Amino acid sequence: MNELMRLQKFIAGAGICSRRKAEELIKKGKVKVDGEVVTELGTKIDPDTQSVEVEGRLVCEAGKKYYIMLNKPAGYVTTTADAHAEKTVMDLVTDIKARIYPVGRLDADTEGLLLMTNDGDFANAVIHPSKKHEKVYIAEVKGLPMLETLRILKQGVDTGEYITKPARVELLKGNSKTSTLKIGITEGKKRQVRIMCETVGHPVIALKRVEIGPLSLGNLPKGKWRHLRKEEIDRICSK
């Protein structure tokens, strides 16, 4: 069963107005749910299955699915709501008239490719371990990893809590001060790439995710988003 939400809370969360103003609009008969005027403040709705209009403006279209690629900047928290966070990824996709959510996570200090949707089947196709979608990162690290260090990163790093699965690792460039690595992993443990690099003595300075399975960030500007194309959705779900 989908989670129900108070109508005024949903309207406020969609950025239409404050919750108090939403309550006023409801009492004045300015809000419709599934085409019917609603004036009861205690009304609860399911944004995934019900349409909502405010003063004739469609806020949520029932049944419509969204598949979004966002280039997340550093400093944004990957969550739909966090009372302690100044900025969340939801602040970057306010034009979407549906309750979407991030697929997986990116650390606040990590930037790059983040998928967002309101389709649970799609989200599961992205993150389920059986799909083995590789996530590729570009990591700027301290120092210059030697061949043995690169071998350890590729074969599996013993972090003290777990041993990572084999990874795809390529040294793109480097010197004694900093190096750039391309790292592909099929796991999704918390802060995994950062922990891997720190464990082998090369802490991450900056980290960016550029690919998830067949999807590539490309030249999407930082802080911007786009809808996935049908063929991209099909490639993710068909694996």
Active site (catalytic) residues: 107
Three-state DSSP state, 31: strand
Q: Is 135 exposed, middle or buried (0-12, 13-18, 19+ CB in 10 A)?
A: buried
In whole angstroms, what is the distance from residue 211 CA to residue 214 CA?
7
- Cβ proximity of 139 and 197 under 8 Å: yes
- Cβ proximity of 22 and 11 under 8 Å: yes
- Cβ proximity of 181 and 138 under 8 Å: yes
